[in-house]
Amino acid sequence: MTSRPKIGLLGIMQALYDEMLPGITERQANYAQEVASHLSEAADVRFPKPARSREDIEEIVELFEREKLDGIIIVMLTYGPAMRATRALANTRLPVMLANIQPEPHVTAEWDMGDMTYNQGVHGAQDTANALVRAGVPFRVASGDWRSPEFGRAFEEWARAAAAVTAWRRLKVAIFGYAMNGMGDIRVDETTMLRELGPEINFLATGDIHRAMQRVSAEEVKSALRAEDERFEIDENLTPEEREDSARMQLAIKSILDSGGFGAYSTHFDAIGEDGRFSRLPLAAASNLMAEGYGYGAEGDACSAALVSAGHILADVAHFTEMYALDYERDAILMSHMGEGNWRIARDDEKPRLIHRELGIGRLGPPPTVLFRIQPGPATIASLAPISGGRFRLVVSEGEVIDSEVLPNLEMPYGFFRPKTGARACLDGWLAAGGTHHEVMTPGHHASLWRTFAELLGIEYREV
């Protein structure tokens, strides 16, 4: 992630107990601030003040929204009637976590009525949870000792998922040209995606890239080439013209994304090739821009582009790929694509190569391509599948990228993914669930993060 999630702590209590326990508001405010500080390693947690009335709750939720926070964690500082929070929580677009915690983890013989009151949050959590369920608000619950590592991990997972969901609700995806004709599983209704999930899809002219290329300065190109010289092994067969043209395309696309507020994009090789003004496909551009944190999907696939963007937030780094072929002897799937891949997941014992490549797709000249093998180790693949009735399903598989020999004739990023359920069972489940042929891969086991992401979005989750 480029920054920590920003989370608002909504600490709910009521003024009922002030006469019985003078100073209770200040005491419980200190408790809430302790919780916020304890969770600060995982997120920037902001606690403005205790919410003791409906007006307080609505004011605080409005503040969190105005400050563009990523989510709200609700902590019951005492019992607080849920009717006071119902309106604000039913209307907020921020993801919600209900923390079923209390100041002290144990009931002791020394407890008096004051201790009972300070630690009575559970029935307020029940009241609030019922209100959220009745309002149809997706939320995550975490019960436990707030000082425990288990609670900390649950909070961190939710905070990351909340940040990804909130970013999605602000995400703009640029599709240059059009989506590949006849490719069905990348098709999505733009209005449905905007309404149900948040990402906004915009179709831009390929000519925008051409015009932006004319505005790229020679010094910008030189700077981009110097960066490539540092991070890649450069193929001696690459010509200066190929490299400069590729860098100019990358800088042009980046300028369009940044000026338009786009966090993800897609190009289709036919749209680029048919334009008539380009010499090659922007394959290295896709690799470099993914490495900078942009979402990407090939062939006009807005769902994959958006999902790669979410993967960057959930798991720090995300890679666009697809299941290219099955290897039953390895019990694994060869993952690759035409040439776009995030080199940040490359093997740490091999420097990625920037190669000269003869590629007939698009009927254009040789596109510089970043070639690497994926780092062996735990990995997760995910697919956003549009299904019937305007619904969406997130299909996920955990496994590992296995070590394997070099495939010398494969001029694309690649690696063998072995699902923990086995290649056959994974593909049976993937196909039955309608999982798409484009995927996002994240290093590490992140099924739980993707599940939380799906829950907060209110979409179906299927692990295979």
For residues 201 and 323, membership in a common domain is answered with: yes
For residues 232 and 108, membership in a common domain is answered with: no
DSSP reduced 3-state for 279: coil
Burial category of 116 from C-beta neighbours within 10 Å (exposed 0-12, middle 13-18, buried 19 and up): exposed
For residues 245 and 160, membership in a common domain is answered with: no
Whether 213 maps to a domain, the answer reads yes
For residues 229 and 192, membership in a common domain is answered with: yes
Whether 311 maps to a domain, the answer reads yes
Whether 107 maps to a domain, the answer reads yes
**Confidence at residue 183, expressed as pLDDT on a 0 to 100 scale:** 85
The answer to pTM > 0.95 is no
Whether 365 maps to a domain, the answer reads yes
CATH, residue 153: 3.40.50.10940
Whether 57 maps to a domain, the answer reads yes
For residues 161 and 176, membership in a common domain is answered with: no
Domain that holds residue 307: 172-463
Whole-angstrom CA distances from 88 to 14, 123, 154, 197 are 16, 20, 24, 21
Whether 409 maps to a domain, the answer reads yes
CATH, residue 397: 3.20.14
For residues 199 and 126, membership in a common domain is answered with: no
Report the greatest alpha carbon distance in the chain: 82
Closest CA to 451 of 464, 439, 463, 438: 463
**Confidence at residue 256, expressed as pLDDT on a 0 to 100 scale:** 98
Contact 10, 51 (CB under 8 A): yes
- Strands in 224-268 per DSSP E: 233-234, 264-267
**Confidence at residue 2, expressed as pLDDT on a 0 to 100 scale:** 57
**Assigned token pair, 375:** 């780092």
Q: Pick from 142, 168, 194: which residue ends a domain?
A: 168
For residues 355 and 401, membership in a common domain is answered with: yes
pLDDT tens digit at each of 464 positions of the chain? 457 999 999 999 998 888 889 999 999 999 999 999 999 999 999 999 999 999 999 999 999 999 999 999 999 999 988 899 999 999 999 999 999 999 999 999 999 998 899 899 899 999 999 999 999 999 999 999 999 999 999 999 999 999 999 999 999 999 999 888 888 888 899 999 999 999 999 999 999 999 999 999 999 999 999 999 999 999 999 999 999 999 999 999 999 999 999 999 999 999 999 989 999 999 999 999 999 999 999 999 999 999 999 999 999 999 999 999 999 999 999 999 999 999 999 999 999 999 999 988 878 999 999 999 999 999 999 999 999 888 999 999 999 999 999 999 999 999 999 999 999 999 999 999 999 999 999 999 999 999 999 999 999 999 99
For residues 228 and 262, membership in a common domain is answered with: yes
DSSP reduced 3-state for 456: helix
Contact 199, 173 (CB under 8 A): yes
Q: Pick from 112, 134, 168: which residue ends a domain?
A: 168
**Confidence at residue 1, expressed as pLDDT on a 0 to 100 scale:** 45
Angle at CA of residue 33, ends 32 and 37, nearest 5°: 120
Whether 1 maps to a domain, the answer reads no
For residues 157 and 178, membership in a common domain is answered with: no
Whether 347 maps to a domain, the answer reads yes
For residues 147 and 267, membership in a common domain is answered with: no
Q: Pick from 112, 141, 168: which residue ends a domain?
A: 168
**Assigned token pair, 47:** 């606690």
Kindly calculate the radius of gyration of the chain based on its CA atoms and give it in whole angstroms: 25
What angle in degrees, to the nearest 10, is found between the helix axes of 54-66 and 83-91? 20
d(CA 74, CA 315): 25
Question: Pairing mode, if any, of strands 353-355 and 369-371?
Answer: antiparallel
**Confidence at residue 181, expressed as pLDDT on a 0 to 100 scale:** 87
> pLDDT tens digit string along 89-109?
999 999 999 999 999 999 999
**Confidence at residue 360, expressed as pLDDT on a 0 to 100 scale:** 80
d(CA 39, CA 20): 31
For residues 146 and 221, membership in a common domain is answered with: no
Residue carrying the six token digits 């001029």: 411
For residues 224 and 276, membership in a common domain is answered with: yes
Q: Based on the structure, what is the number of domains in the chain?
A: 2
